[in-house]
Amino acid sequence: MKRASELVRALLSHIAPEQGEMYLRFFHMWRRILGERLAYHCRIQDVEKGVVKVVVDHPAWLAEVHFKERYILSRLQRDFPSLGIRRLEFRVEPTMTPRSSQDQVRTQSSEGTEPVEVEEIHATETERIKDPHLREALERLRKTLSRRALT
């Protein structure tokens, strides 16, 4: 089974390898900045025009992440100046399923669960990923990086 970071790296290598590495580092640092416990309940939805959009799975976790908002923002600004992060934007989505702390991705086949091979992941093949949250996140990231590569 391949780690999610390997899948993302393979997907992004076709679009913008330098930016892909930065985004992988960004998501890794997100967990370190928030701590595993809080990061488990907070998912980055998008980074666009200097705004980090975050989905939280419960109002109690929203309160905790708001408490740390200044610290989180200052760390992201310091560690990722090229993103031009100006603010964090939070919303609660109670149906959000917390991600596995194992950071692994599997897809469903008719025979059961099988690992996704890195070589299979291309910009046009994200539909193979059955986890809707991961598929949507990768597709948004691919589109964002594609737009930036054109400018």
Domain residue limits, the chain: 4-150
What mean pLDDT comes out for the span 54-77? Answer: 95
Q: Where are the extended beta strands (E) located within 13-125?
A: 42-48, 51-56, 87-92, 106-109, 112-115
The rounded mean pLDDT for the chain is: 73
Query: Does residue 110 register a pLDDT over 50?
Result: no
First to last CA, the chain: 36
Highest mean pLDDT: which of 66-75, 115-124, 133-142?
66-75
Confidence of residue 151 (pLDDT cuts 50, 70, 90): low
Which residue type is seen at 17? Answer: P
Contact 56, 93 (CB under 8 A): yes
pTM for this prediction: 0.56
Confidence of residue 39 (pLDDT cuts 50, 70, 90): very high
Contact 99, 76 (CB under 8 A): no
What is d(CA 48, CA 41) in angstroms, rounded to the nearest whole number? 21
Query: Does residue 85 register a pLDDT over 90?
Result: yes
Token pair, residue 95, equals: 């149906």
- Classify residue 18 by its DSSP letter: H
Strand ordering across the sheet containing 87-92: 42-48, 51-56, 87-92
Residues found in the chain: 151
Which residue type is seen at 22? Answer: M
In DSSP terms, 51 is beta-bridged to 48, 87
Which position has the token pair 């666009």?
48
pLDDT of residue 25: 85
Q: Using DSSP, state whether 90 is helix, strand or coil.
A: strand
